[in-house]
Amino acid sequence: MQSEIKSNFEKSLSEGNYSTSQKEIKEKNFNKFIDQGFPNKRIEDWKFSDLNQIISTNFKKLDFYKENNVPNIDVDFISDFNHNKIVFVNGSVSKIDFSYENEEKIIINQNLELDNKLSENVLLNLNTAFLSSYIKITVNKGYQFQKPLILYNYLTSDLDSCGLNMKLDINLEDDTSMDVVNISNENEKNNFLNFRQKINIGKNSILKNYSLDIKPTSNVKYSFKDIDLDKNSHLEYFILSKGSKFVKHDINCSLNNNHGSVAINGIIDLDNKKHHEIKTAINHNEENCKSYQLIKSVLNENSKGVYQGKIYVNSKAQKTDGYQLSRALLLNDDVEFNAKPELEIYADDVKCSHGSTSGNIDENSIFYLMSRGLSHTQSKKLLTNGFLNEAVEKITNESVKSLVKKLTGIKE
C-alpha cells in the first residue's frame, strides 16, 4: 500500500496548483507520514485502537488522489430545521449558504493554508500532505449567529477505497456565538476520512459544536479538533458516535485565559462489530477555569468502545474545577470497553475528579418493567434510552436536542 500512496502523492503534487513553499510543506509532511506509517498500538494514544491493523484489514488499497471535480450538489438531510449550511462533496466544498445571517459579519477564506510546523501526529501530517480543499470561517467581533450552521459531508455512490483529507477552521472573534452541527450521509463503500479542524474561541464568545455520526456505513474515520479558548469563553461539545465502522474522535482543548469553561458530553452506541473511540485532552493553562466531561457508552454485538480522557492542570492554573466521568453499559458478553482516565496536576488549589464504571444491564429493572406489561426487548430499549438520555439532556440548544432525539429515537 505504501508504494500506491507514494504514487498518489507524486501525482497530486505534480497536477495540483501549489506554490513552491506549499509543495515543500507537503513533501515534509508526507515524508514524516511515510517514515512512521499509520499509527499502531505501540503508540500510547493508539493502544486500544490499532489503526494500522484496521486499515490493512479493511482496505486492499487506498487511493488518496482523485480529480478535484466537485459535483454541484446541494443536499438537505434534515427537514423542518432552519439552518445555514456548508456542503462537502467527496471532501471538497460544493455549497456555502449563510442565508439566515448578516454575511457582512462572516469572512470565508478558501485559500489553502498549510501548517509549516510538523506534527507528532502522523495523521495530521497525512492530512497536510494531501489537503487540496480548505475553508476558514471567521465571525466578526460582536456578531451572534441567528441559526445553526450544519456541515454536511456527502460521499457520492461511486467513491470506494478512497482516502479523503479535509480541513475546516473556525475563528470566533470576541463577543460572538455560533452553533455548529456536523452530520454525514456517506455511502456504504469503504473509505477513509481524515478530518482536521483548528478552532479559536475569542473573549466572551460561545461555540456549541454537535458531532453526529448516525448513518450505518463501512467507513473508517479520524477526526482531530484543536480548540483554544480565551478569557470568559465557553465551549459546549456533544458527540453522538454510532454509525461508522470505525471512528476516533480526538479532541485537544486548551483553556488559555481566566474563567474559560468546557462541557463535553458524548454517546458511543454500537453494535455489529463496530469500534469507536473518544479521546479528550483538556489543558487548564490559566486559573479559574472549569471543565466537565460525561461519556456514556452502550455496546452490543461484538462491538468495542474506548474512552481516553485527560485533565492537565498547569502550575499557574489555580482554582481549577475539572470533572470527568465515563459510564458503559455492556449488553452481552462478547463486547469490549476500555477506559483510560488521567489527571496530571501541577497546582495545589484545584478541584478535580475522574471516574469510570462499566457493567451489565440491571436484570431486576428489566423484570420490573416486564411485570408492567413490556416485553424483554422493550424493557431493554427503555432502560438503554434512559441511560443515554442523561448525555442528550446536557444539550442546551433545544432545537438541536430535539433533532438528536428525533434522529436517534431517544426519548425522555
Strand partners, 109: 136
Give the list of residues 6+ apart from residue 128 with CB closer than 8 angstroms, or none.
Answer: 25, 26, 29, 114, 115, 119
Tell me what pLDDT residue 69 has: 62
- Residues 409 and 384 sit within 8 Å (Cβ to Cβ): no
Across the beta sheet with 192-201, the strand order is 106-109, 134-139, 163-172, 192-201, 220-229, 246-255, 275-284, 304-313, 336-345
Cell of 243: 454509525
Q: Which residues contact 269 (CB under 8 A, 6 or more apart)?
A: 240, 241, 242, 297, 298, 388, 408
More confident residue, 66 or 166: 166
Confidence of residue 68 (pLDDT cuts 50, 70, 90): low
**Predicted confidence (pLDDT) at residue 265 exceeds the cutoff of 70:** yes
Distance CA 298, CA 268 (A): 6
Q: What is the pLDDT of residue 238?
A: 97
Cell 491493523 appears where?
A: 53
Q: What is the mean pLDDT of residues 314-329?
A: 96
- How high is the pLDDT of residue 412? 58
Question: Closest Cα partner for 91 from 240, 202, 192?
Answer: 192
C-alpha cell at 28: 515534509
Q: What's residue 164's pLDDT?
A: 92
Band the pLDDT of 10: cuts 50, 70, 90: very high
Measure the CA–CA gap between 132 and 109, rounded to whole angstroms: 14
CB 279, CB 403: distance < 8 Å = no
Per-residue confidence band for 306, with pLDDT thresholds at 50, 70 and 90 = very high
Position 273 pLDDT exceeds 80: yes
| 15 pLDDT tier (thresholds 50, 70, 90) | confident
User: Do the bridges between strand 92-97 and strand 84-89 make them parallel or antiparallel, or are there none, so unpaired?
Assistant: antiparallel
CA dist 179 and 351 (Å) reads: 29
pLDDT at 67: 62
Lowest mean pLDDT among 203-207, 281-285, 400-404: 400-404
Q: How far apart are CA 314 and CA 255, in angstroms?
A: 10
User: What is the arrangement of strands in the sheet containing 234-241, beginning at the earlier edge strand?
Assistant: 92-97, 84-89, 149-154, 177-184, 206-213, 234-241, 261-270, 290-299, 320-330, 350-360
The reported pLDDT for the residue numbered 80 is: 79
pLDDT of 133 > 90? The answer is no
How far is residue 36's CA from residue 32's CA, in Å, rounded to a whole number? 7
129 and 29 Cβ atoms separated by less than 8 Å: yes
Cβ atoms of 304 and 277 within 8 Å: the answer is no
Cβ neighbour number for residue 358 with a 10 Å cutoff: 16
Q: Give me the mean pLDDT over the 314-327 stretch.
A: 96
The dihedrals phi and psi of 372, each to the nearest 5 degrees, come to: -100, 10
pLDDT band with cut points at 50, 70 and 90 for residue 3: confident
Whether the pLDDT of residue 181 is over 90: the answer is: yes
Give the mean pLDDT of the chain. Answer: 92
Neighbouring CB atoms inside 10 A of 104's CB total: 8
How do residues 19-39 score in pLDDT, each as one tens digit?
Answer: 999 999 999 999 999 999 999
Residue 80 has a CB neighbour count (10 Å cut-off) of 8
Quick one: CA dihedral 47, 53, 59, 63, positive or negative?
Answer: positive
The pLDDT value recorded for residue 74 is: 74
Mean pLDDT of 341-361: 93
